[in-house]
Structure 1
Amino acid sequence: MPSATRFTYFVVLAEMRTGSNLLESCLNEFDGLSCHGETFNPHFISYPKAETLFGYDKAARDDAPLTVLGCFAQQDGLAGFRYFHDHDPRVLDAFMRDPSCAKIILTRNPLESYVSLKIAQSTQQWRLGDVTQRKAAQVVFDPAEFEDHVRTLQEFQCQLQHLLQTTGQTAFYIAYEDIKELDVLNGLAQWLGIAARIDALPRKFKRQNPEALDEKLRNPEAVSEGIARLDRFNLTRSPSFEPPHPPILWAYRACRSLPLAYAPIPGCSERAIFKWMAQIDGADTDALLSNFTKEAWRDWQRSNGQRMAFTVLRHPLKRAHDVFVDQVILGNRVNVRAFIERVRGLELPNDKAQLAQMDIDVHRRGFLGFLQFVQANLNGQTALQTRAIWASQSRLIEGIVTQCPLHRLIREEHLSEELPAMGSALGRSLPAFEVSQSRGPLELAAIYDTEVERAGRAAYGRDYEMLGFEDYAKSAQH
């Protein structure tokens, strides 16, 4: 029975072919511990041939998974279950955030678990109790499939780690090889707060595939290729310290006569799009639906199930240049201006008259200073708050889709073709979009070179990579 345990139930977080059946068998050897299989497996309840658990059959469990979860804390002793990444996701957050739930994380070498899974799928033998009934098989190693297997495991492990970290909890980690270590198992019981100890391992399960790896595979030479495909140290990851940006619901616009909504990215053709949408309604831009609250936006979406929602992307350099001119030189971004003037050793114009006389070298150096500021700001290296107007478009899109699933991501240079084309999905002919030919007081083309492009990529590398932008020189030719 429990002895002053701080836990009321437990979960074994594992995957197929990691030894979870064996670990469960070991846990059930302890007085006061009971593990009830894969309780939340979508295909069965606890075990393939089981019909009920705690009085709930599979259908009842699926209707009330959190109720079934609550039953574990009500059992005598300390009860628990096994949970894999593809089990019912509705319970994951509940038990992971519950400090009274003990988390036992079981891991195994992913190459071994992959080969074991392939053999089990081939032989349909998922457990082995009698070695005389063992089925052997050689399987084919698929490098791409193995890469996907590892990625799935890693993503789930990272999710678990994040939940533990953000809730201030810890877990008991146990490897496949440790399951047969009596000292480890008894240490696990001590961590759980269980007074009982065991002095022998259960004999119910046997290792199914004790052969060397080469003997289990038809093409062992392919393993090297499979491992080479993996980025074990996550070296290709693009680190991002840019804070998340909530959706700017008040800035959304929707037509009154058509279920068409636009979620603007600041600095990307907003006014021209508003004018085009107003044409659809045959009214002024002020008549468009706007200033949404969460409730109003949710109501609009519910009332327009067949809606079309879109946003517009602008090349990162062009967007940054417009922000530099409109917000920094002609606007009131005093702190950003001060940063640029300090690091670049120059004085920027203060009004349109001075801007018209701006030296091209000052223009170029000032813009490079702004890109330097953006890079530092998005990496959390300045004291200034990150603003949506210069935030990365990819990060802003992440915020948008939390409230507004997008049907179209349209490049600014393709607006004249793609905006009217949305009419086919809405069953209505839409007006042509007139491309604005207005020129700003300063032109990016006048200062663009390879150094400017490098600075743009340094500041907005996430947008270049995730949204597929090419060099501005190539983009401007389209």
Structure 2
Amino acid sequence: MTRPFDSFVMFAEMRTGSNFLEANLNALAGVTCHGEVFNPVFIGKKDQTELFGITLADREEDPLRLLRRLRERSSGLPGFRYFHDHDPRVFDLVMDDPRCAKIVLTRNPIESYVSLKIAQATGQWKLTNPKNLKQAKARFDPAEFAGHLDEVQQFQIRLLHALQARGQTAFYIDYDDIPDLAVLNGLAAFLGIDSRLEKVDASLTVQNPEPLGEKVTNLAAMEQTLARLDRFNLSRTPNFEPRRNAAIPGYVAASAAPLLFQPVKGAPVQPLVDWLATFGGVERDFTHKTLRQWKRAHPGHRSFTVLRHPLDRAHRAFWELEQGAMAQEQRNVLSRVHGVHLPKPGQPYTDPKDRHAAFLAFLRFLKRNLAGQTGFKTDAGWATQTAILQGFAQFQQPDLVLREDTLPQGLAFLAAETGLPAPEVTLPRDACDDALDTIRDGELEEAARDAYQKDYQSFGFFPKR
């Protein structure tokens, strides 16, 4: 009988039990799971930079080549793990292949978030010997969890839609189902594998078996945040996670005025929050439900956002990298593969020529990244502002789109629209602005226009020089 699949992909996230499930898949005769083959900073496993003769640079150039090589040179049924922040080009490649089996591993997002925080604190990502267990408690951060939940949910929705649109199905398995031998053998049957497990793999040990409340230092804050989730918007994903627009947790509203700010990451944010705070304070960390409640309580409300010139905004993202943002492994790939030579965190550029060269390389990287030609996830801090506003429109479009360069006039108009006084807004300059002014030239302007053609065309930006 012909086997139904030639390969498989395990869709999962960090701290969902993917190592445990991979160990059990590899215990099946005729199955090989090669790990995180399309992780942005390694191939398969930590510190590994080559697989089947394909290097990181080769994979960055053409991920399909590695995908083909994996299928051609593996014995039995080969597969790999894929997370939402892995090479985005690979998603459609596997989804378009009906002979690639899809396994979807899920876990309660609050459990995976707390587990992730503990692993980050201890540096221990998997455990084979209980004697080596490192213990710590996590501090629950409401805003960070909202971002985590949104990323997980949006990817689940995208995955479900992709399966539906292609007439395919997946084998869904939850973290708590992995120790169930019957479920694991059911997965083997789904994959079309004749072999079965006689016992669950015991090479890995559960790291934090304690009740959730014992794993965090601020249980009350966690309970308060979880109580605010809109649990009636649960109909789309098989693991029943609440759907939400990616930007809503970041919205900021005036408490005593009908004004709602929809921030664009990388554009001015804190000065606008301070401006709104003059109207009796601010409200934030919204869900769909609480934002609708705020709207009902503020009839005649107006929403607005603020755009920043693409070159200035790209430099802001570059500045954050210079200060140490992004994991060191990813910084290494930026340098090795894309020629973006960043200084060590806390040691800024001393020569403007070095900054200019690195920033120019970063702009060229952005052009490829925004075109879906790199293995890096597009960060919200450098995504096109056009795409961000399209994301807002999934819930609501802002009534007013303001520009950083004319912000005082724009806010005065907004205040007049709602019959309010217009407090002054302060946009302080900082070292990032000064650093850009020392290197701004026509070459950088042209590179920014090349990377952000959509924003220049949509919003009419022009060189500042």
TM-score for the superposition, normalised by structure 1: 0.50
Structure number with higher relative contact order (C-alpha < 8 Å, ≥ 6 residues apart): 2
Find the aligned partners of 1:92 and 1:172 in 2 and give their Cα distance.
17
Deviation at 1:148, TM superposition (A): 1.1
Q: State the alpha-carbon separation in 2 of the partners of residues 173 and 38 from structure 1.
A: 19
- Given residue 216 of structure 1, which amino acid in structure 2 is its aligned partner? K
RMSD: 2.6
What's 2:51 paired with?
Answer: 53
Report the CA distance between 1:404 and its aligned residue: 4.5
Alpha-carbon distance in 2 for matches of 1:203, 1:173: 22
**Aligned-partner Cα distance in 2 for 1:155–1:68:** 27
* Aligned counterpart, 1:435: none
Residue 132 of structure 1 corresponds to: 131
What residue number does 2:15 align with? 17
Deviation (angstroms), 1:49? 3.1
Give unpaired runs (5+ residues) of structure 2: 235-241, 246-385, 387-396, 398-451
Separation (CA, whole Å) in 2 of partners of 1:96 and 1:232: 29
Q: 1:28-67 alignment to 2 at 5 Å?
A: 28-67=26-65
Identity %: 52
Matched, 1:205 2:194: no
- Mark the runs of 5 or more structure 1 residues left unpaired by the alignment: 240-308, 310-315, 317-401, 410-421, 429-478
Query: Which amino acid in the other structure matches residue 32 of structure 1?
Result: G
Give how far 1:147 is off: 1.2
CA distance in 2, matches of 1:70, 1:188: 24
Q: Which residue of 1 aligns with 2:181?
A: 182
* Aligned partners of 2:150 and 2:244 also within 8 Å: no
Is 2:74 the counterpart of 1:86? no
CA contact (8 A) 1:51 1:58 kept: yes
Aligned residue type for 2:35? G
1:454 match: none
Q: 1:103 deviation in Å? A: 0.2
Contact 1:35 1:82 in 2 (8 A): yes
Count of equivalent residues: 253
Change (3 A) 1:426 1:73: closer
The answer as to 2:97 corresponding to 1:111 is no
2:36 partner amino acid: E
**SS across alignment from 2:173:** strand
User: Offset of 1:53 from its aligned partner?
Assistant: 1.3
The offset of 1:133, in angstroms, is 0.4
Deviations 1:308-348 (A, max 9, x none): x9xxxxxx9xxxxxxxxxxxxxxxxxxxxxxxxxxxxxxxx
1:49 maps to a residue whose letter is D
In the alignment, the residues of structure 2 paired with residue 238 and residue 196 of structure 1 have an alpha-carbon distance, to the nearest angstrom, of: 41
Among 71, 74, 89, which residue is 1:73 paired with? 71
Residue by residue over 1:45-67, the C-alpha shift from the partner in whole angstroms, topping out at 9 and shown as x without a partner, is: 10003242112122222222111
Partner letter of residue 149 of structure 1? H
Question: How far did 1:39 drift?
Answer: 0.1
Q: Distance in 1 between matches of 2:11 and 2:216?
A: 28
Q: Distance in 2 between matches of 1:238 and 1:85?
A: 17
Q: Over residues 346-393 of structure 1, what are the superposed CA-to-partner deviations in whole Å (9 max), with x where a residue is unaligned?
A: xxxxxxxxxxxxxxxxxxxxxxxxxxxxxxxxxxxxxxxxxxxxxxxx
Structure 1 residues 151, 196: CA separation in 2 closer, same or farther (over 3 Å shift)?
A: same
- In the alignment, which residue of structure 2 is the partner of 1:366? none
Q: Encode CA deviations 1:273-321: one digit per residue, 9 max, x unaligned.
A: xxxxxxxxxxxxxxxxxxxxxxxxxxxxxxxxxxxx9xxxxxx9xxxxx
How do residues 209-288 of structure 1 correspond to structure 2 at under 5 angstroms?
209-234=208-233
Separation in 1, partners of 2:194, 2:46: 32
Q: Is the 8 A contact 1:143 1:229 kept in 2?
A: no
The verdict on how the C-alpha distance between 1:232 and 1:200 changes in structure 2, with shifts beyond 3 A counting, is same
Q: Against the structure 1 CA distance between its residues 406 and 85, is the aligned structure 2 distance closer, same or farther, given a 3 Å change threshold?
A: same
Q: What's the secondary structure of 1:221's corresponding residue? A: helix
Higher Cα Rg: structure 1 or 2? 1
TM-aligned CA distance change 1:53 to 1:238, over 3 Å: closer
1:200 is displaced (CA, Å) by: 1.0
For residue 90 of structure 1, give the secondary structure of its aligned residue in structure 2: helix
Structure 2 length-normalised TM: 0.51
CA distance in 2, matches of 1:70, 1:208: 36
Q: CA deviation at 1:142?
A: 0.9
CA–CA distance in 1 between the matches of 2:38 and 2:90?
A: 8
Aligned to 1:415: none
Kept in 1: contact 2:33–2:79 (CA 8 A): yes
2:156 maps to a residue whose letter is: Q
Q: Return closer, same or farther for 1:77/1:218 CA change in 2, 3 Å cut-off.
A: same
Name 1:101's counterpart in structure 2: 100
